[in-house]
Structure 1
Amino acid sequence: MSTPRFLDLPPGVSPKRIETPEGVFAALEALPGSGLPDRWPALLVPGYTGSKEDFLSVLQTLAQAGRRVVAIDLRGQFETPGPDDPAAYTCAALGRDVDSLVAVVGGGEPVHLLGHSFGGLVTRETVLDGTGKLASYTLMSSGPAGMVGAREVAGRRMLEKMPQLGLEAMWTEKMEPDALRAGVPEEIVAFLRRRLFANSLVGLECMGRAVLDADDRVDELAETGLSTLVLYGEHDDGWPPRLQAEMADRLDCECVVVPGAVHSPAVEAPETTAAALTRFWNTAESTMLAR
């Protein structure tokens, strides 16, 4: 496994391959400067068309609080291989993958679990399954059900074309124009293209449908009683901020709005995002240890 040369890894962050009963997963691991974590670990799960690199800007800061932090590629994403079986890419199947990762990363300790965007729909399956030993749960820029609004419309249009036109249509009609309009540097645009074409096409089609058609399971999630945080950018264009705020109310949990951020707070406001996560994780640990 290799990280693109133009995405320099911060000190203390290294590529790993994590072996689980469900398969081998590509990961980035961050450790405290001492190399000896004294807090419970965290597992970060990316969104649709994303990867572990989406968390690069926060990994080192999160680890410096004293914990091991692991970001992964889901099955069929970027550097984690996946089969051509559509059944492998349902939220439930991917949630079982995350269950196995929680067990390995935790090594017997509780794990702070975070899901970004589509990763939130996947990780809530892990939470609802109830077998993982979890310290807390964070929904980052995710929603109560399938994505709505302009991204939903664009996503459905793209899924219609994907079987005939493949990944080239997704890249030339959507992802590349979006990146160029946003002023993304040329080398990062090159990485985004490389990452997209490394994905499983079957996985992208199935996960694309899942992110658009997911059922609302917030009430079930609220019944778990797990310490939960809803965090999103004030200008989120995935799920409307209002909808995410309502989800936090339904969960009766803390809600953090990241100023200036859109759909990727870990990229757009890394220091603010890392500070909010560290505070939440530390509080969740203290609460569990006090019981």
Structure 2
Amino acid sequence: MSTPRFLTLPPGVRSRRIETTVGTFAALEAMPVSGIAERWPALLVPGLTGSKEDFIAVLQTLAQAGRQVVAIDMRGQYETEGPDDPAAYTCPALGNDIDVLAQHVGGGGPVHLVGHSFGGLVTREAVIDGRTKFASYTLMSSGPSAIPGVRAQVSRAMLAELPEVGIEQLWQTRMEPEALAAGVPDEIVEFLRGRLLANSVTGMVAMTHAVLSAPDRCDDLAQVGVPTFVLCGEHDDGWPPETQAEMAHRLGTECMVVPGAAHSPAVEAPETTAAALTRFWNDSEARLLN
């Protein structure tokens, strides 16, 4: 496993593989550059077409607050292998992976959990099943049920095209032109292409079906009692900020809208996002320890 050459890892951040009873997962692990990891660790889970690299900009800042922070590729994503079995990519199946990973990262102790976008639909399964002791739970740019709007349309189009044209053709005809039109630098376009082509096609199809059909589980999540936080960008084009604010209201918690950010606050507003997560994590620990 190697980090793309243009993605220079910050001090205290390293690539690693985490071996578990359900498979080996590619990860980025951040530790404090100075001092020790005296606070409870955190596990960060990316969205459907994302990867652990989506969190690079926040890892060092989060770790400097005194904790180990681990971002992973889910099974079938980028540098984590996955089987050619669609049943392995349902939200409950992926949520079981998160349970196992969290128990590994936390060594049986409490862990802060963050799920971005589709990763929120996956991670909530682990929170709801109650098998792992979570110190807190953050839904980042995620929603209460299936993704709506433009992203739903794009996902349905991808499902229609992918079996016929293949993933390389899908990149060339749809995703690369969109990235270039948005002014994405060439080296990042190169990374996005490599990441997309490394994904399991079976996994992409199954996870896309899952994000389009996810049920509303807010009531189940509200009953668990894990401290929860909702965070999104003010220009989120996935689940609208109003939908996420209503979800936070149903969960009896705060919704923070990050100014200037869209669907990926950790990329678009890393300092604001890292500060918000650290504040929430520290407050959650203080409440749980008192």
Bin for the TM-score computed over the shorter chain: over 0.9
Q: What is the match of residue 89 of structure 2?
A: 89
Corresponding residue for residue 102 of structure 1: 102
Aligned positions of 1:265-280 closer than 5 A: 265-280=265-280
State the Cα deviation string for residues 211-255 of structure 1 (Å, max 9, x = none).
Answer: 111011011100111100000000000011111110000001111
34 and 108 in structure 1: CA distance in 2 versus 1, 3 angstrom threshold: farther
Displacement of 1:170 after TM fit? 3.0
Find the residue that maps to 1:150 and give its secondary structure.
helix
Q: Does 1:131 align with 2:131?
A: yes
Tell me the amino acid that sits aligned with residue 136 of structure 1: S
**Is 1:25 matched up with 2:25?**
yes
Aligned twin of 1:156: 156
Aligned pairs for 1:156-235 (under 5 A) are 156-235=156-235
Q: Deviations over 1:18-66 (max 9, x none)?
A: 0111111000000001362010000000001100000000000000000
- The residue that corresponds to 2:36 in the other structure is 36
Please give the secondary structure, in 1, of the residue aligned with 2:277: helix
Q: Which moved more, 1:75-84 or 1:164-173?
A: 164-173
Q: Which moved more, 1:60-69 or 1:28-37?
A: 28-37
Q: In the superposition, relative to structure 1, how do residues 210 and 56 fare at CA in structure 2: closer, same or farther (>3 Å)?
A: same
- The amino acid of 1:59's aligned partner reads L
Per-residue deviation, 1:171: 1.3
Q: Mark the CA change 1:17 to 1:89 in structure 2 (over 3 Å): closer, same or farther.
A: same
State the alpha-carbon separation in 2 of the partners of residues 261 and 36 from structure 1.
Answer: 32
Cα separation, 1, equivalents of 2:181 and 2:42: 33
Superposition RMSD in Å = 0.9
Q: Tell me the SS of whatever aligns to 1:17.
A: strand
**4+ long deviations beyond 2 Å:** 172-175
Deviation at 1:169, TM superposition (A): 3.8
Match for residue 66 of structure 2?
A: 66
Q: Identity across aligned pairs (percent)? A: 69
8 Å contact from structure 1 (residues 41, 69) kept in 2: yes
**C-alpha separation in 1, matches of 2:39 and 2:175:** 38
Q: How many positions carry a matched residue from both structures? A: 290
State the shift of 1:168 in Å. 2.3
Please list every run of 5 or more consecutive structure 1 residues that lacks an aligned counterpart in the other structure. Answer: none
Deviates more, 1:27-36 or 1:58-67: 27-36
1:141 aligned to 2:131?
Answer: no
Any idea what SS the aligned residue of 2:14 has?
A: strand
Give the structure-1-normalised TM-score.
0.98
Once the two structures are superposed, the pairs formed by residues 244-283 of structure 1 within 5 Å of their partners are 244-283=244-283
C-alpha separation in 1, matches of 2:92 and 2:166 = 25
The residue type equivalent to 1:233 in the other structure is G
Q: Distance in 2 between matches of 1:64 and 1:97?
A: 27
Q: CA deviation at 1:181?
A: 2.5
Residue of structure 1 in register with 2:117 after alignment? 117
Residue 172 of structure 1, CA deviation: 2.5
Shift of 1:157: 1.0
What CA distance in whole angstroms lies between the structure 2 residues aligned with 1:169 and 1:139? Answer: 33
Deviations 1:185-236 (A, max 9, x none): 1000000000000000000000011111101101110011110000000000
What is the rounded CA distance, in whole Å, between the counterparts of 1:177 and 1:39 in structure 2?
A: 44
Q: Contact 1:158–1:169 (CA<8 Å) still a contact in 2?
A: no
Q: Which amino acid aligns with 1:37?
A: A
Kindly indicate whether the alpha-carbon contact (under 8 Å) linking 1:95 and 1:124 is maintained by their aligned counterparts in 2.
Answer: yes
1:166 match: secondary structure: helix
- Unaligned segments of structure 2, at least 5 residues: none
CA distance in 1, matches of 2:175, 2:116: 18
Distance in 2 between residues matched to 1:195 and 1:33, nearest whole Å: 29
Whichever residue aligns with residue 8 of structure 1, its letter is T
Structure 1, 197-206 or 26-35: larger mean CA deviation: 26-35
* Distance in 1 (alpha carbons) for counterparts of 2:160 and 2:72: 28
Contact 1:161 1:169 in 2 (8 A): no
Task: Provide, for residues 73-103 of structure 1, a one-character-per-residue CA deviation record: whole Å limited to 9, x for no partner.
Answer: 0000000000001110000000000000000
